[in-house]
C-alpha cells in the first residue's frame, strides 16, 4: 500500500512539471490561399508548416510569393528614411546646380517612395512542397509573420529615371533592356546599366551599353526594371542611392496585403 501511494505521488510530481499546453503562435496567410487569415502553429513551426497550413491554391504564383516579417520592419523603416533624405539632398543640390530635370525626378521619386509601405519582406523559397524538402530554406517562422501568395500578373513595370512609370505587357523570354524601348528614359538616366528586380525579391544589375553589355536577362511576370540615375550626378551627394533604392523596391510584393499596410 505504501509502495502504491509512493508511485501515485511520483506520477503527480512528474505531471506537475509538465507544461499545461503546447506553446503556440499565430501567423497570417493571405492572397490565393484556401484559408486566409490567422493560422495557429506550434512555436517551433517552420516555413513549410505555415505554407502547408495555408493550403495554397494550385494557381497561386509561387515566384511572387512573399514572407513579410514584423521583425524586419524597423530596419527597413530606417532604410526608407535614409532614401528619402538622400533624394531630398539630391533635389536640393540639383536646384543649386541648375539641373531642373534631376530636381524634378528626385522630388517625384521621393513622393512615390513615401507612399510605399514598409513590409518586412524577406527573400525566401515559399513553394510549400519545395521548402519542405529543402532543409536550408525551411527556416523558423515567428509570431505575426505573413505568407502572401499572389495570382500571376501579366505585366512588368519600368520605373526610375523614365519620363513616366510604365506598366507593360509581359512577353516570354524578352530581354529586360528591350522593354526600355516602350518607356523612354530621361537625360539624367544612367546609360550603362539597369536594375532588374524579379518578383521573388531578388535584385540583379544588368549592363546595357554597347561597350559593357551583359547577357540577355529574361524577366518573370511581375518583375520591375529600375532605371537608375547617372552615377556621376550622385557623386558627393548620395553615391549609394541607386543600389539602396533598388533594394527597397525589392521589399514590395506584387500586391500588398492589408496586413502589411
Q: Which residues contact 101 (CB under 8 A, 6 or more apart)?
A: 186, 187, 188
Query: Domain limits of the chain?
Result: 22-69+120-152, 70-119+153-260
Residue of 31, 82, 4 whose CA lies nearest to 258: 31
User: Does 74 score more than 80 pLDDT?
Assistant: yes
| CATH fourth-level superfamily of 70-119+153-260 | Outer membrane lipoprotein wza domain like (3.10.560.10)
Model pLDDT, residue 209: 87
pLDDT digits (tens, 9 = 90+) for 121-138: 999 999 999 999 999 999
Of 79, 37, 31, 80, the C-alpha closest to 56 is 31
Question: How does residue 6 score in pLDDT terms, banded at 50, 70 and 90?
Answer: very low
Distance CA 232, CA 251 (A): 26
**pLDDT on residue 5:** 52
Give tens-digit pLDDT for 243-253. 999 999 999 99
Q: What is the DSSP string of 19-78?
A: -SS--EEEEEEEESBSS-EEEEEETT-BHHHHHHHHTB-TTB-GGG-EEE-GGGHHHHHH
pLDDT value of position 210: 84
* pLDDT of 8 higher than 70: no
Fold category of 22-69+120-152 in CATH? Ubiquitin-like (UB roll) (3.10.20)
Q: What pLDDT is recorded for position 7?
A: 46
Q: Check pLDDT > 60 for residue 142.
A: yes
In the predicted structure, residue 230 carries a pLDDT above the cut 50: yes
Residue 20 has a pLDDT of 46
Confidence of residue 168 (pLDDT cuts 50, 70, 90): very high
Mean pLDDT lowest among 16-25, 122-131, 188-197, 223-232:
16-25
Weakest-pLDDT range from 6-10, 24-28, 252-256: 6-10
pLDDT average, residue stretch 254-258 = 62
Whether 175 contacts 57, CB under 8 Å: no
Share of the chain above pLDDT 70, in %: 89
How many angstroms separate the CA atoms of 56 and 129, rounded? 10
> Based on the number of CB atoms within 10 Å of its own CB, is 117 exposed (0-12), middle (13-18) or buried (19 or more)?
middle
Q: Is the pLDDT of residue 22 over 80?
A: no
pTM for this one? 0.88
Whether the per-residue pLDDT at 68 is higher than 50: the answer is yes
* SS3 call for 119: coil
Work out the percent of the chain whose per-residue pLDDT is above 90: 84
Query: From CA 159, how far away is CA 150, in angstroms rounded?
Result: 21
Say whether 70-119+153-260 and 22-69+120-152 share the same fold. no
CA 108 centroid distance within chain: 22
The answer on pLDDT for 202 being more than 60 is yes
Confidence of residue 4 (pLDDT cuts 50, 70, 90): low
Q: What is the mean pLDDT of the chain?
A: 91
Q: What is the pLDDT of residue 255?
A: 72
The alpha carbons of the chain give a radius of gyration, in whole angstroms, of 24
CA distance 246 to 108: 16
Amino acid at each position: 500500500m505504501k509502495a502504491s501511494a509512493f508511485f501515485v505521488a511520483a506520477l503527480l510530481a512528474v505531471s506537475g512539471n509538465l507544461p499545461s499546453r503546447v506553446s503556440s503562435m499565430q501567423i497570417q496567410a493571405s492572397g490565393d490561399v484556401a484559408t486566409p487569415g490567422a493560422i495557429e502553429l506550434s512555436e517551433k513551426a517552420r516555413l513549410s508548416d505555415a505554407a502547408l497550413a495555408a493550403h495554397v491554391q494550385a494557381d497561386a504564383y509561387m515566384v511572387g510569393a512573399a514572407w513579410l516579417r514584423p521583425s524586419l520592419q524597423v530596419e527597413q523603416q530606417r532604410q526608407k528614411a535614409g532614401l528619402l533624405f538622400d533624394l531630398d539632398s539630391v533635389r536640393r543640390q540639383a536646384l543649386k546646380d541648375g539641373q531642373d530635370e534631376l530636381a524634378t525626378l528626385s522630388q517625384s521619386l521621393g513622393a512615390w517612395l513615401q507612399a510605399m509601405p514598409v513590409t518586412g519582406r524577406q527573400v525566401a523559397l515559399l513553394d510549400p512542397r519545395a521548402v519542405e524538402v529543402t532543409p536550408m530554406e525551411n527556416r523558423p517562422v515567428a509570431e505575426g509573420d505573413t505568407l502572401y501568395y499572389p495570382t500571376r500578373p501579366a505585366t512588368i513595370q519600368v520605373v526610375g529615371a523614365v519620363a513616366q512609370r510604365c506598366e507593360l505587357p509581359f512577353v516570354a523570354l524578352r530581354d529586360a533592356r528591350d522593354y526600355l524601348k516602350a518607356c523612354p528614359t530621361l537625360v539624367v538616366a544612367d546609360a550603362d546599366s539597369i536594375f532588374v528586380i524579379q518578383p521573388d525579391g531578388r535584385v540583379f544589375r544588368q549592363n546595357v551599353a554597347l561597350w559593357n553589355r551583359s547577357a540577355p536577362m529574361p524577366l518573370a511576370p511581375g518583375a520591375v526594371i529600375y532605371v537608375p540615375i547617372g552615377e556621376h550626378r550622385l557623386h558627393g551627394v548620395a553615391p549609394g542611392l541607386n543600389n539602396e533604392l533598388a533594394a527597397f523596391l525589392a521589399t514590395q510584393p506584387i500586391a500588398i496585403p492589408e496586413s502589411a499596410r
